[in-house]
Amino acid sequence: MRLSRYFLPVLKENPSEAQIVSHRYMLRAGMIKQSAAGIYSWLPLGFKVLKKIEGIVHDEQIRAGHIPMQMPTMQSADLWRESGRYEAYGQEMLRMKDRHDRDMLFTPTAEELITDIFRSHVNSYKDLPLTMYQIQWKFRDEIRPRFGVMRGREFYMKDGYNFDLTKEDALHAYNRHLVSYLRTYERMGLQAIPMRADGGPIGGDYTHEFLVLADTGESEVFYDSAVTDLTFGDREIDYDSVEQCQGVLEEFTSKYARTDETHDAALFDEIPEERRRVARGIEVGQIFYFGTKYSEAMGANVQGPDGKQSPVHMGSHGIGVSRLLGAIIEASHDDKGIIWPEGVTPFHCGIVNLKQGDDEADAACEALYQALTAAGLEPLYDDRKERAGGKFATMDLIGLPWRITVGPRGLKNGVVELTSRRSGESEELSPEAAVQKIIEIYAKHPSSRGF
């Protein structure tokens, strides 16, 4: 993309309404624009990151054997009356009547609807296990939306639902989700720690939240510092293997790590003092096993191998897709702007032309642009007639992890400058070597394969 043809309305001033850094930078970098309290438009740069994150979530869910589909945002109230949640949900549910005076709602979550789909089509254990998920807009009418996309009213969420014959099978689905979530967050450059959580209004005995450590987190968290040494890395996993998935769960949940909701001071005190940590965290996902809560209420039964009918065992598993943009920025920024991890960056690298209009500099930038594009990468070429300082400030603010700077002086020596946004370090390289290095970097961060 050539910046002269893009829509990137960066702001010079800090917007007064933004209290936390991610909100501030998302507004300043022209990623979002508020249209009503807690409701945002995703401007082109923000939309690109949102889609990168969505792509990674899809990849990892599909890899785990979970099946993508999509449910509508508008639902009839009837299903929610079956489960008893229509009245229970309270004012956070946005309700309305259609032109025929029927009660409708904007779905905040979809246990009822997916259970209805299941009971309409599945009635035998032979069709199990089954896990389906969607990534769809949700609405929660927060009384006080704030912190930008971190606590908005309209938000983008992945919600998945497993259906299994037995509790044991459902716990394997639970473990599969835990593993796939670990992979998902790591591909985004995030460390998200699974912490024992509270079931809340969805219910459930088995539930973990995934928290990203950040000073601006809404939750107080207590953990054994050994937990932050764990990484999933690029190990192979067979998602069908009960043992392997259980092993990962045990590895990642064996250390103490809890939010204030489930914190147990006595257990915490058993951790060696030098490893005890109290910090804040941002919740970016949650997995639940809640057994037969919805299947019993809604009559979602399956016939077992013994011919007997029993309610199906279920769980639901969420990732806050739009909220992740905020979480990633909270975890990865400096005083100049955002620092995108390679896995989610909207453009793979920036190209800054120090002397737009200079034939040689223009030609060199153009050649870099073509070479990177031909390699399947997407550069953002700042081809505007602006001062170098302004171009650097924009690149730093929007946080592309790599920048190639091209100027007449370097070109005389046959070099351009490759700069890491994260370390700030630069090296001089031939244009070909710079392209090669960018290609090598992104070979480790494959794009989402999509559908």
> How many beta carbons lie within 10 A of that of residue 100, not counting itself?
6
Would you count residue 88 as binding its own copies (CB under 8 A)?
no
Least CB distance to its own copies at residue 128 (A): 11
Toward its own copies, which CB reaches closer, 74 or 267?
74
Would you count residue 75 as binding its own copies (CB under 8 A)?
yes
Distance CA 42, CA 48 (A): 9
Toward its own copies, which CB reaches closer, 40 or 223?
40
Asked whether 294 and 115 are in contact (CB, 8 A), the reply is yes
**What single-letter amino acid sits at 224?**
D
Cα 277 from chain centroid (whole Å)? 25
Would you count residue 381 as binding its own copies (CB under 8 A)?
no
Distance CA 318, CA 107 (A): 14
Least CB distance to its own copies at residue 116 (A): 7
Positive or negative, the CA dihedral 392, 393, 394, 399 is positive
Site string for its own copies, 180-219 (x = CB under 8 A): ----------------------------------------
Q: Which stretch binds its own copies (CB under 8 A): 66-74, 274-282, 303-311, 406-414?
A: 66-74
Least CB distance to its own copies at residue 104 (A): 7
Closest listed residue to residue 290, CA positions, set 206, 178, 195, 208: 206
Q: Would you put residue 86 in left (φ > 0), alpha (ψ -120 to 50) or beta?
A: alpha
Distance CA 29, CA 398 (A): 5
Asked whether 420 and 402 are in contact (CB, 8 A), the reply is yes
Toward its own copies, which CB reaches closer, 193 or 372?
372
Toward its own copies, which CB reaches closer, 45 or 182?
45
Subset of residues 93 to 132 that bind its own copies, contact rule: CB under 8 A: 94-99, 102, 104, 106, 113, 116-117, 120-122, 127, 130, 132
Distance CA 356, CA 386 (A): 8
Q: Is the bond into 72 cis (omega within 30 degrees of 0)?
A: no
Distance CA 320, CA 326 (A): 10
CA angle 178, 184, 186 (to 5 degrees): 105
> How many beta carbons lie within 10 A of that of residue 403, not counting itself?
22
Work out which of 229, 359, 443, 451 binds its own copies, going by CB under 8 A: 451
Cα 129 from chain centroid (whole Å)? 26
Would you count residue 91 as binding its own copies (CB under 8 A)?
yes
Size of the site for its own copies (CB under 8 A): 63
Least CB distance to its own copies at residue 364 (A): 23
Site string for its own copies, 408-447 (x = CB under 8 A): ---------------------------------------x
Q: Which stretch binds its own copies (CB under 8 A): 5-13, 213-221, 248-256, 362-370?
A: 5-13
> How many beta carbons lie within 10 A of that of residue 363, not counting itself?
12
Would you count residue 74 as binding its own copies (CB under 8 A)?
yes
**Residues belonging to the chain:** 451
Least CB distance to its own copies at residue 47 (A): 5
Subset of residues 35 to 64 that bind its own copies, contact rule: CB under 8 A: 35-36, 39-44, 46-48, 50-52, 55
> How many beta carbons lie within 10 A of that of residue 122, not counting itself?
17
Work out which of 65, 203, 247, 304 binds its own copies, going by CB under 8 A: 65
Least CB distance to its own copies at residue 266 (A): 40
Least CB distance to its own copies at residue 85 (A): 16
CA distances from 115 to 86, 164, 292, 296, 300 (A): 15, 12, 11, 10, 7
Residues forming a β-bridge with 130: 163
Least CB distance to its own copies at residue 273 (A): 46
> How many beta carbons lie within 10 A of that of residue 133, not counting itself?
27
Q: Which stretch binds its own copies (CB under 8 A): 137-145, 278-286, 299-307, 405-413?
A: 137-145
Binding site for its own copies (CB under 8 A): 5-7, 9, 30, 33, 35-36, 39-44, 46-48, 50-52, 55, 65, 67-76, 79, 91-92, 94-99, 102, 104, 106, 113, 116-117, 120-122, 127, 130, 132, 137, 139, 141, 143, 153-154, 447-448, 450-451
